């Protein structure tokens, strides 16, 4: 497939995704989801999708918001590390479920540490992050030092 920048080819569709992203950010804020957790979910979804552009972007954003390099180093194996709270673990598992769309539905993340509004907001976050990953990967956004 040729390298095509999706945003340049269909800017109104891209703008619609940006609007959706803004709505998801507002929903996350209303739900009281910690901004560092938002970045962790973005990073984990991007890891699963293999999106280098988004990984670099959100790792930098997480560090700027106070995330530690130790936690970032182990987010790919969050279930094995003791760095993450019950709520963070639930959110990361939920994001993985939304990204992988496991069948039959797995709900191992549902330990009660997330409210219904947080589950919805994080599910939307994973959904929009999956869309952004696909835009970046398909458009071949450059990732260079």
Q: Are 12 and 19 in contact (CB under 8 A)?
A: no
Q: Which domain holds residue 121?
A: 11-139
Taking alpha carbons only, the member of 89, 98, 87 closest to residue 126 is: 98
Higher pLDDT, 135 or 36: 36
**Predicted local distance difference test score (pLDDT) of residue 70:** 97
pLDDT surpasses 60 at 44: yes
Classify residue 127: in a domain, yes or no: yes
- Cα 80–chain centre separation: 19
State the pTM of this model.
0.82
Classify residue 76: in a domain, yes or no: yes
pLDDT more than 90, % of the chain? 61
84-88: long-range contacts (C-beta < 8 A, 24 or more apart)?
84/40, 85/113, 86/111, 86/113, 87/37, 87/113, 87/114, 88/37, 88/40
Among 18-32, 87-101, 107-121, name the one with the lowest average pLDDT: 107-121
Other beta carbons within 10 Å of 58:
25
Q: How many structural domains compose the chain?
A: 1
Rg for the chain, CA atoms, rounded? 15
Residues contacting residue 35 through CB under 8 Å, at least 6 positions apart: 65
Classify residue 1: in a domain, yes or no: no
Classify residue 47: in a domain, yes or no: yes
pLDDT tens-digit series, residues 111-142:
888 888 998 888 888 899 899 988 888 888 88
**Predicted local distance difference test score (pLDDT) of residue 106:** 65
Classify residue 145: in a domain, yes or no: no
pLDDT surpasses 70 at 46: yes
Q: What is the CATH number of the domain that holds 131?
A: 1.20.1290.10
């Amino acid at each position: 497939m040729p390298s095509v920048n999706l945003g340049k080819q269909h800017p109104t569709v891209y703008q619609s995704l940006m609007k959706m992203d803004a709505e998801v950010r507002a929903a996350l804020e209303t739900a009281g989801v910690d901004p560092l957790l938002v970045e962790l979910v973005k990073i984990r979804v991007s890891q699963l999708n293999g999106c280098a552009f988004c990984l670099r972007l959100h790792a930098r954003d997480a560090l700027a918001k106070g995330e530690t390099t130790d936690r970032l180093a182990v987010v790919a194996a969050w279930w094995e590390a003791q760095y993450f709270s019950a709520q963070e673990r639930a959110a990361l598992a939920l994001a993985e479920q939304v990204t992988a769309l496991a069948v039959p539905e797995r709900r191992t993340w549902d330990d009660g540490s997330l409210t219904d509004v947080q589950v919805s907001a994080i599910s939307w976050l994973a959904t929009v992050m999956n869309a952004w990953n696909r835009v970046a990967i398909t458009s071949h956004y450059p990732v260079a030092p």
